Amino acid sequence: MGKVRCPARPESMALSLVRPEITSPPAPAPSCCTQKTLTVPPEVNAKTVQKHDYPSRAHRVSYARRTAVERAYATMKDPASTDVRRGWCRVMGLCGITILLTCGVVVRNLRILDAFEERQREDLRRRTAGLEPRTRRRRRRTLDDLTSTKTA
């Protein structure tokens, strides 16, 4: 790695003399001293390996949980709503802050439930009036939208 000077690695002896030097390397040199690369078996990283293959549906479903959690954190820190940023309360101690943060999460969840129920009522009203349910606007643009030269 270019951090120490070692006689077993002649190229390391060209390093500066201020680097530490191994004066007596072990007789059977370990593989880290003689090889250029190391092969690590998959069992070593079994704990950190991805559970699902990347482009699969199972991966998308699993990753959607993460985006939901990130969205929850973002709405908790949003200054227009709950605003749980640094300095948001003047309570000292872990217990008091935990209680206030729990109240903030409850308020956020109630706000989301109210919005969901309102959307359900609106969809029911539209269905009884013979209209299609309201859909969200498409945020992504198609290649045609990006390449068109129309100005608004």
Does a structural domain hold residue 15? no
The pTM of the full predicted model, rounded to 2 decimals, is: 0.50
Does a structural domain hold residue 84? no
Separation of CA 3 from chain center: 33
Does a structural domain hold residue 7? no
The Cα 62–Cα 73 span in angstroms is 18
Does a structural domain hold residue 97? yes
Does a structural domain hold residue 95? yes
Q: pLDDT of 2-25, one tens digit each?
A: 688 888 778 888 888 888 888 888
**Structural domain of 111:** 91-131
pLDDT at 140 over 70: no
Q: pLDDT of 83-133, one tens digit each?
A: 888 888 888 899 999 999 999 999 999 999 999 999 999 999 999 999 988
Asked if 20 and 4 count as a contact pair (C-beta separation under 8 A), the reply is: yes
Does a structural domain hold residue 67? no
Number of domains in the chain: 1
Q: pLDDT of 20-77, one tens digit each?
A: 888 888 888 777 777 777 777 878 877 777 788 887 888 888 888 888 889 888 888 8
Does a structural domain hold residue 1? no
Phi, psi (deg, nearest 5) at residue 141: -105, 150
